[in-house]
């Protein structure tokens, strides 16, 4: 039996509704089982086919699939040549992996503040944080809304910076009618189960730069190549060579078969997410004290996350109490994200509270509501009812 709602009575839902989850169908199962019965479990024909399809989907020349999105970011930082003494400007409102990848390469992340409307990296603030050491930028398409790529590319061109777009939330999103994945020097997508499509774990970089593509292909598999045109020596048909220090970051054939099957349904998934968002906006936009998400005119978001912002002065309690009350209603709310540099690890590295005031303020006021394609209309109405119930209860 579920516990009582925080202010007494039965919760809106009997069962817990998580904030995000996968949608696996029979076709997915058949594809995976076909691979399991076949010749290759890891690197095989489905890996290159999945890469080909993702590249085509986003309009890029190349894609390199790896074990997860974090590995993909690491690989992109390697290809960009990030090393000691290099600075990389990262959005502050993101998952830690967006900045950790810079540290993996010995570089230094510098955090830029967010735009208070879109919650994406603020292009003016980004420019202010450029130093002589800055080599790259990692903007994040937060919640699926693309960053202002024209603004970012203009700065990147002016200062000679490489742009690695963290599009973990944004497979299928569009910027001014162009697909995310074809806009930056390199773009990362994640296939974690809550993301737009899943391979369980998995990630990919798309690029139209052949040199980056070659570097990434090496990096994914120990830095080893068998390509006869690249070998320094060729002692015989067994010969292979390690040319740089890479990792085993390969994605399996099993997972790529699942990815291909999932990709078939990307448009359907996104349409469903957009339908749910329209209903949320309509119902929650009416509630005093609630700020629903803003979508810029250049954006056609795939809506990975739906985040409401609270005007807390209108309530008798803080975000924490409202969050807990929603959880007690069995609504799987969440908070995305704690600004990266506030984590103890980053604090110990010397990053200071107050660096990005807009991000810090946003963090205090946000709650992520459940949003995933498999949600039923009733699930959506339950979320709305619970938010109305809790906010009306606590409103001043």
97 binds ligand PLP (CB under 6 A): yes
169 binds ligand PLP (CB under 6 A): yes
Q: Could you say which DSSP state residue 395 is in?
A: B
- Window of 74-82, 89-97, 215-223, 293-301 that interacts with ligand PLP by CB under 6 A: 89-97
- By CB under 6 A, name the one of 94, 118, 173, 255 that touches ligand PLP: 94
190 binds ligand PLP (CB under 6 A): yes
User: CA-to-CA distance for 245 and 83, rounded, in angstroms?
Assistant: 13
101 binds ligand PLP (CB under 6 A): no
User: CA-to-CA distance for 191 and 70, rounded, in angstroms?
Assistant: 11
69 binds ligand PLP (CB under 6 A): yes
Q: How far is the CB of 367 from ligand PLP (least distance, A)?
A: 17
Three-state SS at 389: helix
- By CB under 6 A, name the one of 192, 215, 272, 273 that touches ligand PLP: 192
26-37 and 253-263 helices, crossing angle to 10° = 150
Query: Residue 190 phi/psi, 5° resolution?
Result: -115, 145
Q: Write out the two tokens for 320.
A: 């924490």
Query: Residue 261 phi/psi, 5° resolution?
Result: -65, -40
- Window of 34-42, 121-129, 163-171, 273-281 that interacts with ligand PLP by CB under 6 A: 163-171
Q: How far is the CB of 369 from ligand PLP (least distance, A)?
A: 16
- By CB under 6 A, name the one of 203, 246, 339, 373 that touches ligand PLP: 203
- Window of 42-50, 65-73, 114-122, 239-247 that interacts with ligand PLP by CB under 6 A: 65-73
Q: Closest CB to ligand PLP among 6 and 251?
A: 251
Closest residue to bound ligand PLP by CB: 69
User: CA-to-CA distance for 41 and 374, rounded, in angstroms?
Assistant: 29
Which residues in the 130-149 window bind ligand PLP by CB under 6 A? 140
# residues near ligand PLP by CB under 6 A: 14
Q: Closest CB to ligand PLP among 189 and 323?
A: 189
377-394 and 319-328 helices, crossing angle to 10° = 140
Query: Residue 359 phi/psi, 5° resolution?
Result: -70, -40
Which residues in the 294-313 window bind ligand PLP by CB under 6 A? none
- Window of 36-44, 63-71, 127-135, 374-382 that interacts with ligand PLP by CB under 6 A: 63-71
What Cα–Cα distance (Å) separates residue 320 from each residue in 18, 49, 357? Answer: 18, 46, 20
Q: Closest CB to ligand PLP among 97 and 162?
A: 97
- By CB under 6 A, name the one of 19, 62, 78, 95 that touches ligand PLP: 95
273 binds ligand PLP (CB under 6 A): no
Q: Could you say which DSSP state residue 121 is in?
A: B
- Window of 74-82, 161-169, 274-282, 368-376 that interacts with ligand PLP by CB under 6 A: 161-169
Q: Rounded to an integer, what is the distance from CA 258 to the centroid of its chain?
A: 19
User: CA-to-CA distance for 105 and 244, rounded, in angstroms?
Assistant: 13
Query: Taking Cα atoms as reference points, which of 91, 277, 272, 279 lies closest to residue 168?
Result: 91
Query: Taking Cα atoms as reference points, which of 194, 242, 202, 238 lies closest to residue 222?
Result: 242
266-284 and 377-394 helices, crossing angle to 10° = 30
- Interface residues with ligand PLP (CB under 6 A) are 68-70, 94-95, 97-98, 140, 166, 168-169, 190, 192, 203
């Amino acid at each position: 039996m579920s516990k009582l709602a925080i202010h007494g009575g039965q919760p809106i839902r009997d069962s817990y509704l998580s904030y995000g989850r996968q949608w696996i169908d029979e076709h997915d199962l058949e594809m995976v089982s076909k691979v399991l019965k076949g010749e290759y479990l890891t690197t095989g024909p489905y890996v290159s086919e999945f890469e080909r399809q993702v590249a085509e989907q986003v309009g890029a020349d190349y894609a390199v699939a790896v074990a997860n999105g974090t590995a993909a970011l690491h690989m992109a930082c390697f290809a960009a040549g990030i090393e000691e003494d290099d600075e990389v400007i990262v959005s502050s409102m993101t998952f830690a992996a967006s900045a950790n990848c810079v540290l993996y390469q010995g570089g230094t992340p510098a955090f830029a503040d967010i735009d208070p409307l879109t919650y994406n990296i603020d292009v003016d603030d980004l420019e202010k944080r450029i130093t002589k050491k800055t080599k790259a930028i990692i903007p994040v398409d937060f919640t699926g809304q693309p960053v202002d790529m024209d603004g970012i590319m203009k700065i990147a061109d002016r200062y000679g910076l490489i742009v690695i777009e963290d599009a973990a939330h944004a497979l299928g999103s569009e910027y001014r009618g162009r697909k995310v994945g074809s806009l930056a020097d390199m773009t990362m997508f994640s296939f974690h189960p809550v993301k737009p499509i899943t391979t369980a774990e998995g990630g990919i970089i798309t690029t139209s730069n052949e040199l980056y593509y070659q570097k990434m292909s090496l990096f994914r598999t120990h830095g080893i190549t068998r390509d006869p045109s690249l070998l320094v020596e060729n002692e015989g048909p067994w010969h292979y060579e390690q040319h740089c220090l890479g990792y085993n970051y390969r994605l399996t054939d099993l997972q790529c078969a699942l990815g291909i099957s999932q990709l078939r349904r990307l448009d359907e998934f996104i349409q469903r997410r957009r339908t749910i968002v329209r209903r949320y906006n309509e119902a929650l936009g009416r509630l005093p004290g609630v700020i629903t998400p803003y979508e810029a005119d250049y954006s056609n978001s795939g809506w990975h996350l739906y985040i409401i912002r609270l005007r807390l002065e209108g309530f008798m309690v803080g975000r924490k109490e409202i969050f807990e009350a929603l959880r007690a209603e069995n609504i799987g709310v969440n908070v995305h994200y704690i600004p990266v540099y506030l984590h103890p690890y980053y604090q110990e590295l010397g990053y200071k509270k107050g660096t990005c005031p807009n991000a810090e303020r946003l963090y205090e006021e946000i709650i992520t509501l459940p949003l995933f394609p498999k949600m039923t209309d009733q699930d959506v109405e339950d979320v709305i009812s619970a938010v109305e119930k809790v906010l009306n209860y606590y409103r001043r």
